[in-house]
């Protein structure tokens, strides 16, 4: 039996990348500084005591990372990902979480222990922040350490009933020809980010080939609890929620015939030059992008319209976990806020599995094995 691939997982949260990578991978080291996420990781992985480190990535050194892993995965906080702009690129200030990760990769490289593959997962805004300077700085850093890199924009809606576009920057020491080519995940934003790179940085660019997975066969309604198993808003609360809808979204409610399940977000929109809170509903079978809770207004709601009657409620923590592709056996924090924080700040499990099966694992297999397949 072939040995499992090994990996480090930084900003691991509840370990969703680990679950997505699957049984063919062995975690040599994982880290997160958030106590709630750390407790969740420990609750779900019996071997956490062997490799999980709770604390600031800046307090780690290359010596804390064992061996020579095949992969380092980093889902650094999206609000922290500023590599250029006011910081003057990678030579500027190094206070962000990403720089804490990157200095460890540099230390491993200096010691001859650099991972063969890096995956940096973040929001799509990474491609355009500071006019593209952040993405260019990231590419320059990767290239300076001998990595070829490319980006894929994958929406979790491809495999899950949640709209959740994310960028996956995949960097590898080698780029075999059979793993390069066209991909549906080379979106307009990815192509624009590539076009904005300098010739020097673009010289290390790779157009990774990643086919689309089989069509999603579930919708939002399929992951929800039965109607009689959840707490619904009062009629007055539902009326207040629908009262925040503008004409377009009220029309969507009115157009429903039979039964329909929709997702609702409260958002602040500028109207007549003033910030105005609005509720926006969608009936396309998808939830909106999960996010970390910062009060009741930030939580996603569910509406059910049936024979003209409208009911509403908040999305439950278990439903949020299902929207991330987590099994019901996954242990969530006991508090609603904690559970939604872990789910909303994670990476979609089936997306990781597809990326691993179709690109990461083939990159790590010996050429002879690939030729025999």
- Asked if the model's pLDDT at residue 344 lies above 50, the reply is yes
Q: Bigger pLDDT: 88 or 237?
A: 237
Would you place residue 134 in the very low, low, confident or very high pLDDT band (cuts 50, 70, 90)?
confident
- Element counts in the chain: helices (H) and strands (E): 14, 11
pLDDT in tens, 246-279: 999 999 999 999 999 999 998 888 888 899 889 9
3-class SS shares of the chain: helix, strand, coil, % to 5: 40, 20, 35
Is 32 in a helix, a strand, or coil? strand
| Helical packing angle, 336-344 and 35-44, nearest 10° | 80
As a whole number of angstroms, the distance between CA 343 and CA 84 comes to 29
Confidence of residue 319 (pLDDT cuts 50, 70, 90): very high
Q: How far apart are CA 281 and CA 278, in angstroms?
A: 10
The burial of 178, by beta-carbon neighbours within 10 Å (0-12 exposed, 13-18 middle, 19 or more buried), is given as exposed
Q: Percent of the chain at pLDDT above 70?
A: 91
Token duo for residue 89:
């690129």
| Contact residues for 334 (Cβ-Cβ < 8 A; gap 6+) | none
Cα gap 354→167, rounded to integer Å: 14
**Which architecture, in CATH terms, is 5-213+346-372?**
3-Layer(aba) Sandwich (3.40)
Query: What local confidence, expressed as pLDDT, does residue 269 receive?
Result: 85
- For 191-236, how does the pLDDT look when each residue is reduced to its tens digit (9 = 90+)? 999 999 999 999 999 999 999 999 999 999 999 999 999 999 999 9
The set of residues, in sequence order, having a beta carbon less than 8 Å from that of 304 and lying 6+ positions away, is: 227, 259, 260, 261, 262, 310, 311, 312
Residue 341 pLDDT grade (very low, low, confident, very high; cuts 50, 70, 90): very high
Please give the Cα distance from 143 to 205 (Å, whole number). Answer: 9
250 sits in which H/E element: helix 247-254
pLDDT on residue 9: 98
Within 8 A by CB and 6+ apart from 318, the residues are: 225, 328, 332, 339
Q: Is the pTM of this model over 0.75?
A: yes
SS (H, E, C) 117-157: EEEEEECHHHHCHHHHHHHHHHHHHHHHCCCEEEEEEEEHH
Output the pLDDT for position 131.
86
Give the pLDDT band (50/70/90) at residue 310: very high
Q: Taking CA 7 as the corner, what is the angle to CA 126 and CA 32, rounded to the nearest 5 degrees?
A: 60
Contact status, residue 289 vs residue 164, Cβ threshold 8 Å: yes
Other CB atoms closer than 10 Å to residue 269's CB: what's the count?
11
Average the pLDDT over 117-136 and give the result: 90
Question: What is the CB-side half-sphere exposure of residue 215 using CA atoms within 13 A?
Answer: 1
Q: How confident is the model at residue 308 (pLDDT cuts 50, 70, 90)?
A: confident
More confidently predicted of 51 and 293? 51
Mean pLDDT score across all residues of the chain: 90
**Token pair listed for 262:** 């929709």
Q: What is the DSSP string of 161-172?
A: SB--EEEEEEEE
pLDDT value of position 298 = 65
For the chain, give every domain's residue range: 5-213+346-372, 226-315
d(CA 99, CA 109): 15
pLDDT digits (tens, 9 = 90+) for 144-178: 999 999 999 999 999 999 999 999 999 999 999 99
């Amino acid at each position: 039996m072939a040995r499992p691939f090994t990996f480090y997982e930084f900003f691991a949260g509840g370990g969703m990348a680990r679950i997505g990578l699957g049984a063919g991978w062995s975690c040599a080291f994982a880290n997160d500084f958030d106590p709630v996420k750390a407790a969740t990781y420990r609750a779900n992985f019996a071997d956490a005591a062997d490799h999980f480190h709770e604390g600031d990535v800046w307090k780690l050194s290359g010596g804390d990372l064992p061996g020579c892993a095949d992969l380092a995965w980093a889902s650094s906080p999206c609000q922290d990902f500023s590599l250029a702009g006011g910081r003057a690129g990678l030579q500027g200030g190094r206070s962000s979480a990403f720089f804490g990760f990157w200095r460890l990769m540099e230390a491993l490289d200096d010691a001859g222990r650099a991972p063969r593959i890096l995956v940096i997962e973040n929001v799509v805004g990474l491609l355009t922040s500071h006019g593209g300077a952040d993405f260019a700085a990231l590419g320059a850093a990767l290239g300076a350490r001998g990595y070829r890199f490319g980006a894929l924009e994958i929406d979790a809606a491809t495999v899950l009933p949640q709209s959740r576009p994310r960028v996956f920057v995949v960097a590898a020491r080698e780029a075999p020809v059979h793993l390069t080519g066209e991909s549906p995940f080379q979106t307009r934003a990815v192509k624009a980010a590539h076009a904005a790179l300098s010739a020097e940085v673009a010289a290390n660019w790779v157009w990774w080939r990643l086919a689309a997975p089989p069509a999603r066969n579930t919708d939002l309604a399929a992951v929800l609890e039965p109607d009689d198993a959840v707490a619904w808003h009062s009629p007055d609360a539902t009326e207040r929620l629908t009262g925040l809808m503008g004409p377009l979204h009220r029309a969507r409610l009115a157009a429903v015939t039979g039964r329909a399940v929709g997702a609702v977000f409260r958002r602040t929109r500028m109207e007549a030059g003033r910030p105005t809170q609005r509720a926006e509903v969608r009936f396309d079978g998808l939830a909106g992008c999960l996010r970390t809770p910062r009060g009741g207004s930030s939580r996603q709601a569910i509406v059910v319209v049936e024979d003209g009657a409208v009911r509403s409620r908040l999305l439950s923590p278990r439903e949020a976990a299902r929207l991330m592709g987590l099994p019901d056996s996954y242990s969530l924090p006991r508090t609603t806020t904690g559970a939604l924080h872990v789910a909303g700040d994670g990476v979609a499990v089936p997306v990781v599995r597809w990326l691993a099966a179709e690109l990461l694992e083939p990159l790590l297999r010996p050429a002879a094995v690939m030729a025999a397949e």
